[in-house]
Amino acid sequence: MKDNRGLSLVELIVVIAILAVLAGAFISLWGLVPKSKCYRCAESVKKAVEGGRTDAISFFSSTVILEERSNGIYATTVTQRGIHAADGTGSMSDTSIEKNVGKQGVKLSYTYDETLAEDSFIELGSSKLGIQYKRSTGSFSYPTIDGVEQSSYLAAIKVECGNFVRIIKLTQLTGNTELL
């Protein structure tokens, strides 16, 4: 007959070590969730802005409007397309496409300062940031805040989620975007 007294000390130490490794892995992965949310949002905002540039060059004009809502970050691309008839007349039509580019808890801010100084960023909050391109050159036009044209060029957009930050640098003359 076998004597069943429970777990030996070695077996208990092995079980505790396995649980400690699993707990450590879970905690480190849990910390990456906000980081990946921030990175995905920054990539999506960058793609929306670049898509606006492509639309502006291909069609008459295009504006990408970024806004924070209670359920996330949204990018709305409004494209004005010119339709030309064979007799030389034509008309314009607007197309609007809205996309959720960031989840709840992500914050946007923007700056006009080329040095990207931390204290120069302005929180977007309930405002709407409009980003436009010049069709002839592909460069940025002056941005709009709640539909009002600003007198300085936008230098960057900051995407924040907790302690994680991604900055999208905007180069005015070329219309290029860079994720920092």
| Domains with residue ranges and CATH for the chain | 31-179 (3.55.40)
Residue 6 clears pLDDT 80, i.e. is over it: no
What average pLDDT is seen over the chain? 85
Q: Please indicate, yes or no, whether the overall pTM of this predicted structure exceeds 0.85.
A: no
Distance between CA atoms of residues 140 and 49, nearest Å: 10
Half-sphere exposure of 131 (CA within 13 A, CB side): 36
Say how far residue 130 (Cα) sits from the centre of its chain.
14
Buried b (16+ CB within 10 A) or exposed e, 72-85: ebbbbbbbbeeeee
With cut-offs at 50, 70 and 90, classify the pLDDT of residue 105.
Answer: confident
Structure tokens at 170: 């905007």
